[in-house]
C-alpha cells in the first residue's frame, strides 16, 4: 500500500510540524471534553473533511480507521449493552476522530520533522537529567516499529485464518503481544550492546531519522 507523500504542496503539508502537533494536542483535548455524540459526529466529519483539504482522499482516511474497525464494533456493543447507545456512540466517535486527526498529521508531516519537534520540546528538561537525543531516539523507534508490528499482526492473522481462528481476538492478541515484547527486548539489547551515549546520540539519531523518513515515502 502506497502512503501519501508527507512532502505534498497543500497548506496543511506546508504548516510547521510544531504547529501541527500543537493543534493536534489542542484538538485532542477539546474532543475529550465533548459530551454529546451528535457534536462528536460533527467533529469526526470535520476531521475527515481535512483530508481533501490536504490533497488526500476519503479512502486514505478509511485506511487509517480500518485496522480499528473490529475494536470499535466490540467497544460499541459493550458500551451499548452495559451503559447506553448515546455513550457507546460518543466513545466510538471520539476514538475515530482522534485517530483520524493523528493520522492526518503523520500523513502530512515528515517523520524527521516530528522527531526534531519532540527533541526541542524536551530540551529545557536537560538540566533535570533528561536527554533529548535519547527521547528522540525512543520516539523514532516507536514510529519505526509501528509498521513492523502491523506486519506481524497481518502474519498472525493469516496463520490464524488458516486454522479457522480468524475471528478469535485472543488468538490474535496473545501471539502479537509476545512478538512485540520480544522485539522490544531485542531492540533494547541492541542499543545497550552498542553502548549508546549522549556523545554519539546526534549521529545515530540522524541516521535513524533518515531511515524513518525514507520509510514514510
Q: Best-predicted range by mean pLDDT among 2-16, 98-112, 166-180?
A: 98-112
Cα-trace Rg, the chain: 19
pLDDT in tens, 156-201: 777 777 776 655 566 666 777 777 777 767 666 665 655 555 445 4
Cell output for 52: 481533501
The mean of the pLDDT values for the chain is 77
The pLDDT of residue 21 is above 50: yes
| Residue whose C-alpha cell is 471534553 | 33
Q: For position 2, what pLDDT does the model report?
A: 43
Q: Best-predicted range by mean pLDDT among 8-12, 14-18, 110-114, 125-129?
A: 14-18
pLDDT in tens, 131-150: 777 777 777 766 666 666 66
Q: Of 76, 107, 105, which Cα lies nearest the Cα of 93?
A: 76
- Spatial contact of 112 and 212, defined as CB atoms under 8 Å apart: yes
Q: What is the reported pTM?
A: 0.68
Three-state secondary structure readout of 87-151 = HHHHHHHHHHHHHHHHHHHHHHCCHHHHHHHHHHHHHHHHHHCCCHHHHHHHHHHHHHHHHHHHH
Share of the chain above pLDDT 70, in %: 69
> 110 or 178, which is more confident?
110
Amino acid at each position: 500500500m502506497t502512503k501519501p507523500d508527507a512532502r505534498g504542496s497543500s497548506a496543511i503539508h506546508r504548516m510547521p510540524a510544531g504547529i501541527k502537533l500543537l493543534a493536534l494536542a489542542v484538538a485532542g483535548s477539546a474532543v475529550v471534553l465533548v459530551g454529546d455524540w451528535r457534536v462528536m459526529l460533527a467533529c469526526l466529519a470535520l476531521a475527515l473533511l481535512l483530508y481533501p483539504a490536504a490533497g488526500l482522499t476519503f479512502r486514505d482516511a478509511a485506511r487509517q480507521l480500518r485496522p480499528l474497525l473490529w475494536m470499535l464494533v466490540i467497544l460499541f456493543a459493550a458500551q451499548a449493552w452495559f451503559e447506553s447507545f448515546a455513550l457507546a456512540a460518543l466513545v466510538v466517535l471520539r476514538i475515530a476522530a482522534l485517530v483520524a486527526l493523528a493520522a492526518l498529521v503523520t500523513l502530512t508531516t515528515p517523520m524527521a520533522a516530528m522527531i526534531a519537534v519532540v527533541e526541542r520540546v524536551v530540551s529545557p528538561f536537560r538540566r533535570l537529567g533528561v536527554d533529548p537525543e535519547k527521547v528522540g531516539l525512543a520516539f523514532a523507534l516507536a514510529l519505526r516499529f509501528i509498521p513492523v508490528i502491523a506486519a506481524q499482526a497481518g502474519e498472525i492473522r493469516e496463520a490464524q485464518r488458516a486454522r479457522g481462528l480468524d475471528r478469535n481476538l485472543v488468538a490474535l492478541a496473545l501471539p502479537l503481544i509476545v512478538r512485540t515484547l520480544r522485539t522490544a527486548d531485542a531492540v533494547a539489547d541492541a542499543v545497550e550492546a552498542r553502548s549508546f551515549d549522549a556523545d554519539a546520540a546526534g549521529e545515530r539519531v540522524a541516521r535513524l531519522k533518515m531511515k524513518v523518513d525514507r520509510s514514510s515515502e
